[in-house]
Chain A
Amino acid sequence: MSTGIYVHVPFCPTRCGYCDFNAYAGLDGLKPRYVTALLREVELAAPGWDDQDVVSVFLGGGTPTTLDAADLKALLAHLGDRFAVAPGAEVTVEANPDTVDEAKLAALRDAGYGRLSMGAQSFDRTVLSSLERIHDPDSVHRAFAAARAAGYENVNLDLIYGADGEGLDSWERTLLETVALQPEHVSAYALTIEPATPLGRKVASGAVPAPDPDLQADMFATACAVLCDAGYGHYEVSNWAKPGYECRHNLGYWERRPYLGLGAGAHSYRQDRRWWNVRPPEEYLRRVGSGELPVGGQERLEPADAYLEEVFLRLRILEGIPASWVEPGRAEPFLESGLLELDHDALVPTERGMLLLNELVLALAG
């Protein structure tokens, strides 16, 4: 069975106002112990996964590149020792433009990190500062050039649209600058306001306007048009790739293949069980340090849960669901209104349908 491994690195130089990931600024002092703990967790977790072919490894965060290249190299090597990492496995590391230079990127590539996912977010200075990102557009250009110089041939750029102050024109310029760089992969996410973040509180208090969903819908349409024109295939709601460069690791989540998560707050899935590690880095260190798996919670998927997941994930990756799964009469209104279309015998969301995916999921599987 092909499996993915996710490793979470919860450290960041600063915390961005919109981010609700398990990430922390100011905990840099924990880094050495954290690396040790990751190596230890690999030991603890590996038994029982030896029948799995690891086809992808993904280092996410946080900002994994805040760790030294040597540590990242040791980590990957250790994974290779303890798991059956397939030759040619997709190994991704996330990076922020300001935390990498050509030397570091070359070292990472030498260590085996063959795919780079960079948090560009925008090429508009106003938008970047509205998102409280520390980098500026120039550093994206610099970091991208460094990646190419270091030999990276599989690079993703992450973009966010709909921040306060961003108009359709600005978003289109960001997209055009992005495709001009010719990355192999582009992720474009509509800014989502999470209540438990500094930005969420500003929106709740009225200090910052909530994103306009209609404008975000227009921005989505613009992304579809610009990226398709530039030769990118739309293969998931928020993801586009040059042919053959779809992210295998993320596809594993969406195709409900097993994955093992390592690090604070990382999620795992196998068969009918989902579980997740404790979130606070200190608690993670304590648990691993005392020689136990740092599991913070778990759930068993009932058939109804699994079905709901299957439907919403299949719709997300445009694979669609067999029309025979759906009660007669439920899909027809959406076929008529152009939110769904029939591809052979599968119900697949159209571009408009992708934006209303929650509605589709609840109508078809609810």
Chain B
Amino acid sequence: MTETSRIRNFCIVAHIDHGKSTLADRLLELTHAVADRDMRAQYLDKMDLERERGITIKAQAVRLAHDGYELNLIDTPGHVDFTYEVSRSLAACEGAILLVDAAQGIEAQTLANYHLARDAGLAIVPALNKIDLPAADPDEVARELGVLLGRDPSEVLRISAKTGEGVPELLRAVIERVPHPGGDASKPLQALIFDSAFDAYRGVITYVRVHEGVLPSRARIRMMATKVETEAEETGVMSPEATPISQLGPGEVGYLVTGLKDVHQAKVGDTITLAGKHGAKEPLHGYREPKPMVWSGLFPAEGGDYSDLRDALDKLKLSDSALHYEPETSQALGFGFRCGFLGLLHMDIVKERLEREFDLELIATAPNVEFRIARGEEVTVVHNPAEMPTPGTYDRVEEPVVFATVVTPSDYLGAVLDLCQSRRGEQVDMSYMSPERAEVHYVLPLTEIVFDFFDQLKSRTRGYASLDYEPWGYQTADLVRVDVLLHGEPVDAFSSVVHRDKAYAYGRQMVERLKTLIPRQLFDVAIQATIGSRIVARETVKAKRKDVLAKCYGGDITRKRKLLEEQKRGKARLRRVGRVDVPQEAFIAALRVDEGASKGKK
């Protein structure tokens, strides 16, 4: 056990691509945690998926030894979807390096995570990265940071994580400026789970920060929120490979092999204590159930793959405690699952893992948020547009809103304000970080963000604006369900809940898009968008009149027959909605939210 006065627990807070992983590599080298010959770029980002997307999903804690100090570097997820996970990682630290790209300047994610870190009471060590870049403007960005932190710009360190310049000074500053943890070894054990992972061989591994007491290597422990008890198998630290140790003392950070087989029994934010009478009476505060914010139906493209999809989700859930799913039956798409995700990125990651690791071809319905339907005192929660009741049968609908932070070059401020305004945003405040850069806060309906907000923001600001947001409760809204009917039959997969002011435009867009996607049939097919019984848009796919091989002479009957057989196979791949045959691609294309928007902006 290390004396708490010799421990520093810290994390790196940075916008995506501002160099967090590269800095972590330099820290590993500087502290000789990894032998030179074993070093590789982005060492800590172990999962393939993480490395490809340039983000870190799973937090990890690495113990570094330097100048007689035990330094625990706690890696935080860097994306808006994982705000809660970020907050738990921050709760395991006393300090944070606020890392800003000296060429890019402060971004929305920097701000959002800085505010989280400050609110968590962390000591902030500001640092500019990439000072070796020709485009770097360290003086200006240091000035911006000084304004943000209320400190003298000279306190901002300047480094190049790539070349290593300034990194020793930064490490020194961490030791000097970040306070050591508290904690009393004689008190009952309270250890915070700030991350958990599933290992195929060892089961659930949690990453913990001991706040009070001692966590021995083998002990009977209890998860205070889930009330699960288990025999812990091993404690250890990552340095950076897993190294077992006999116990973790107050202020220390490490891993615990729990002996559990399901991540849901050891949840992020929960408190571990000892089972029995030596256990703590109270958990650490701040535990929250991970709550899905975005929902989407996932259906196998081939109906027969349903059980494969179910098995894949069951497996994925072992390592992803935030993933929710329940069976869903769609008239149009057959058997599938309604899945809940932390956000759009989480949704993309899950979908990609299902397709890649489990070799499934999926159709995803348009993402939607969760709505609360109030009837008098009674409130029902729906997370599927199909469950949205018809107007007039309820008192009001509430939708989730978020507190959004947008940082933009001043030149694009007007465009950003227009976008937020058009998405039913309520401006909270606005300020200039410098004459060139502005920061705006809006309360925005989450459903607007889910519907291509980010794409629009990027396109209207040429990619310069950045966005971060956090959940901000619910608000009453005039929302209606828009249904799409093919030849009089509602297609549940196309239903969507939208604001009444936008229902007409949405209905028109869907109907026009489908008109180009539905092949001509033997009869006229009406495509209608409706709100309740009212038709708001209509198009017709005219009946097909000609489908015959013109020529059938010269004796090559084989080819004609093969053409017919090919046409027959094509028909077998169609999905039938009422009397209308709809190709798979029509579902995929019609449900792609960004399609219409990206066409419009070019």
Please list the residues of chain A having a beta carbon within 8 angstroms of any beta carbon in chain B. Answer: 6, 21, 60, 189-192, 213-214, 216-217, 220, 236-238, 250, 253-254, 259, 261, 266-269, 274, 276, 299, 305, 308-309, 312-313, 316, 337, 339, 352, 354-359, 361-362, 366
Contacts and interface: CB of A to CB of B under 8 A. Distances in A.
A190 B523 CA distance: 22
B551 A192 contact: yes
Contacts of A274: 557-558
B564 A220 contact: no
Interface stretch (B292-300, B318-326, B483-491, B542-550): B542-550
Contacts of A268: 555
B523 A337 contact: yes
A299 B558 contact: yes
Q: Which 7 A-B pairs have the closest CB atoms?
A: A267-B555, A217-B545, A357-B548, A190-B550, A213-B546, A217-B546, A189-B550
Contacts of B547: 213, 355-359
Interface in B537-576: 542, 544-558, 560-561, 564-565, 567-568, 571
Given A213-B546, A238-B551, A269 B557 contact: yes
Nearest to A4: B555
B571 A237 contact: no
Given A214-B545, A358-B547, A366 B571 contact: yes
Contacts of B597: none
A356 B548 contact: yes
A77 B551 CA distance: 30
B562 to A, nearest CB: 10
Contacts of B382: none
A77 B272 CA distance: 102
A312 B550 CA distance: 13
B550 A21 contact: no
Contacts of A361: 564
A6 B554 contact: yes
Nearest to A339: B522
Nearest to A256: B557
Interface of B: 522-523, 542, 544-558, 560-561, 564-565, 567-568, 571
5 contacts: A190-B546, A192-B550, A267-B554, A355-B545, A356-B547
Contacts of A250: 553
Given A237-B548, A261-B555, 17 more contacts: A189-B550, A214-B542, A237-B550, A254-B552, A267-B556, A308-B561, A308-B564, A316-B552, A337-B523, A355-B546, A355-B547, A358-B547, A359-B544, A359-B547, A361-B564, A362-B571, A366-B568
A181 to B, nearest CB: 22
Contact of A309 (B545, B546, B561, B567): B561
Nearest to A249: B553
Contact of A312 (B542, B558, B564): B564
Given A269-B555, A274-B558, A337-B522, A358 B564 contact: yes
A267 B546 contact: no
Contacts of B545: 213-214, 217, 352, 355-356
